[in-house]
Structure 1
Amino acid sequence: MSVQTERADAAPETAVHKSGEPPGGLDAKRQRIRDNFLPYVLLLPALAVTLVFLGWPMVKNGDLSLQNINRRQLILRLTEYTGFDNFEEALKSEQFWRVVGRSIVFTGVNVILIMVISTLIGLLLARLGKTMRVTLQLALVLTWAMPIIAATTVYQWLFAQRFGVVNWTLDKLGWHSMADYNWIGSQFSAFFVITLLIVWQSVPFVALSLYAATTTIPGELYEAAALDGAGGWKSFTAVTFPFIKPFLFATTFLEVIWVFKALPQIYAISGGAPDRLTETLPIYAFVEGVGNQHFGMGAAISMLTILVLLTLTSYYLRIVLKQERDEL
């Protein structure tokens, strides 16, 4: 009798479940909506800040690139729109295309050196003992934390012509012709100093990132590779590289952007000397705009610089996406 009563009591409840919305169904639906929109809501402050501090200056720079503005226009507060004349003049200039080619080669050399050295250091960190690893990590962090201008000033002092430490050391080692060597006197030596500085500043971030990637690799994979008779190189290609490849792609992408737009290092070391042979696109835009007081032309060159960088990075992103599709 009690069993029949329980069944009778449960029947209406079952009917409600079948005919209407189950308990908690509306709340669950609202929760799903909130979960879907929450990421976009959280992104709104970052998007707002980006629009204010990046989007608006880009709009103003684009407007400036369409004007003929120099000292006269600034003094008389004149606005002379010339359309795309600045872009046309820049694109027809042989100097502009020489600087574009130089910028691409400069970026490629620096990024290759950064990635190779950083990979070797990252792998070294994974194999060192705790004391040596912490010591090397501390040295990398301190190098990375040094401000750009401070590091550039140190390199200016190291490679100074008359009182530089490098020239003094080379002279003491027997290269007496280097006692008063002018490192900024030729294109190759000036770029050598600039490359050394940029690589030195960039390696810590990439090396530490790659070392962090190696800590995610299970040790059992290395043990299995060793049992199969794999040597150091085979273990790297079969075990290590597949795990760190996404980090390599990401850091390479970031380094391309960072090196391509490097301005304070080059300007402080050489200023484009000798004979403007060490100018990259950011330096070229700054010299034409601020140095020659042709601000519209400088703005146009900076916009073209962004387009060149977007072209380089879009090609790289296409390669990365293709590789990811092939792996699926």
Structure 2
Amino acid sequence: MTVHSQGAVSTAPEDAPGRAAGESTTPPPPTGSQEIHTPPRGRRSRLGGLVPYLLIAPAVISMAVLLLYPLVKNVILSFQQVNRKELITRVPEWVGFDNYTELLKDPDFWTVVLRSLVFTVANVLLIMVIGSLIGVLLNRLGTKMRLVLSLALMLAWAMPIVASVTVFRWLFDEQFGVANWVLRSLGFSGYEQHNWFETGFSTLVIVTLLIVWGSIPFVALNMYAGLTTIGSELYEAAKMDGANGWRTFWSVVFPNLKPFFMITTFLEIIWVFKAFAQVYAMNMGGPDHASETLPVYAYITGQGLFRYGLAAAISVLTIVMLIAIMSFYFRLILKQEEEQ
């Protein structure tokens, strides 16, 4: 309570020191311009925008030098006639589409194409089926046995191609081969110095065993890694519904690992379709060219017959066929991404 000089009494609260009576407690608004000034972009900001391009430049340049340039040169070579004469004179002769016309009219070329397609399908099916089963086995094994099996798979995967071909040639050797000895020991007749490389079919069967043996580890280990991402509650729910092993695989495992199966199949088709060292080192495409696939056919045409322009045309057609085959998987991948 405050007593004024006139004697009146006021019940208003006493103002705080330094504050005038009746003054508002709200702070005054800030004075001056309200605009936020953005500093101008200088050299540092321009360089920051170039950093991503500078980082990927070495990879782009390497791909252009190692992949794009040879591909362009190979396409140009496919329109030329480069035989022994042209190798000496170093003056290739332009023949247009003659190399492609000769190939498309050659029944031997289409025989090799059909053989390559059947060979690829058989290998990819075996690789995916056996590799997936081993991946499921890895997921069910204990820690010690899983480690042993994983090490065995890694050793098979890490073995060089030429070394593995040498081992398989010894296993199926005509005189000292393990395969002939095992079959004779089991009581089978006709395997005294049996020649497993006598026909193109038997040669490709052995090559198939080699490629499947070397490719299974990639599928199996990736399959096991994918299975570890599936929650145990899904398996328990399938078990409560009375699903057996196959039903659980198709209802639980396959839907969750569908991207894995698509990408892995995509990679295996490319790997098998372009396989060269295994086929050539096993029997050089023989006997009588009966085990040639498209890469081996192109190599023998170029290096054996000195028809480099025709060999280039074979390789270009091989790339076109591979792109046509894989376009189906590209569409599936794009469709799946749209659904997600």
TM-score by length of 2: 0.86
Amino acid at match of 1:283: V
What's 1:299 paired with?
312
Whole-Å separation in 1 of the counterparts to 2:192 and 2:24:
107
* Equivalent of 1:136 in 146, 149, 152: 149
Structure 2 CA distance for aligned equivalents of residues 222 and 173 of structure 1: 43
- Structure-2 residue corresponding to 1:7: 27
Change in Cα spacing, 1:292 to 1:129, as seen in structure 2 (3 Å) is same
**Larger C-alpha radius of gyration, 1 or 2?**
2
Residue 115 of structure 1 and its aligned partner are, at CA, apart by: 0.2
Partner Cα distance (1:262, 1:118) in 2: 19
Tell me if 1:20 matches 2:20: no
Matched residue type, 1:142: L
1:131 to partner: Cα distance: 0.3
Paired amino acid for 2:172: F
Correspondence 1:44-123 to 2 at 5 A = 44-123=57-136
Q: 1:228 aligns with which of 231, 241, 249?
A: 241
Does the 8 A contact of 1:65 with 1:298 survive in 2?
yes
Tell me the amino acid that sits aligned with residue 107 of structure 1.
T
Greater share of residues in helix: 1
Q: Equivalent residue for 2:217?
A: 204
Which structure 1 segments of 5+ residues have no match? none
* Cα pair distance change 1:64/1:7, threshold 3 Å: same
Distance 1:115 1:38 in 2: 41
Counterpart Cα distance in 2 of 1:276 and 1:7: 96
Instruction: Provide the aligned length of Structure 1 versus Structure 2.
Output: 318
**Rounded Cα–Cα distance in structure 1 between residues aligned with 2:65 and 2:229:** 38
Q: Is the contact between residue 201 and residue 290 of structure 2 (CA under 8 Å) also seen in structure 1?
A: no
- What is the alpha-carbon distance in structure 2 between the residues aligned to residue 169 and residue 109 of structure 1? 26
**Residue 38 of structure 1: CA displacement?**
6.3
The CA deviation at 1:24 is: 9.4
Partner in structure 2 of residue 283 of structure 1: 296
Alpha-carbon contact 1:222-1:235 (below 8 Å) kept: yes
CA distance in structure 2 between the partners assigned to 1:144 and 1:220 by the alignment? 33
Once residues 140 and 6 of structure 1 are traced to their aligned partners in structure 2, the CA distance between those partners, rounded to angstroms, is 77
* Alignment-derived partner of residue 268 in structure 1: 281
Residue 172 (structure 1) aligns with: 185
> Does residue 251 in structure 1 map to residue 264 in structure 2?
yes
Aligned to 1:176, the other structure's residue is in SS state coil
CA distance in 2, matches of 1:169, 1:279: 29
Moved more, 109-118 or 272-281: 272-281
TM-score by length of 1: 0.89
How many Å apart are 1:95 and its aligned residue? 1.1
Task: Give the structure 1 partner of residue 196 of structure 2.
Answer: 183
Residues 297 and 6 (structure 1), Cα distance of their counterparts in 2 relative to 1, 3 Å cut:
farther
Alignment gaps of 5+ in structure 2: 1-18
Aligned residues with identical type, % of pairs: 50
Deviation of residue 319 (structure 1)?
A: 2.8
Alignment RMSD: 2.6
2: CA distance between counterparts of 1:224 and 1:24? 60
Letter in 1 for 2:153: L
Q: Shift in Å at residue 26 of structure 1? A: 8.3
Task: Answer yes or no: is the 8 Å Cα contact 1:170–1:179 preserved in 2.
Answer: no
1:241 shift after superposition: 1.3
225-234 or 174-183: which moved more?
225-234
Whole-angstrom distance in 1 between the partners of 2:281 and 2:26: 87
Say whether the 8 Å CA contact 1:190–1:278 is kept in structure 2: yes
8 Å Cα contact 1:185/1:274 also seen in 2: yes
1:4 deviates by: 6.0
Query: Residue type matched to 2:123 in 1?
Result: N
**What letter matches 1:113 in structure 2?**
L
Contact 1:121 1:207 in 2 (8 A): yes
Deviation string, structure 1 residues 10-69 (Cα, Å, up to 9, x no partner):
x448x72xx436x89989xx79x969x766554332221111111111122122212111
Alpha-carbon spacing, 1:4–1:227, altered in 2? closer, same or farther (3 Å):
farther
Q: Quote the residue 2:170 is aligned against.
A: 157
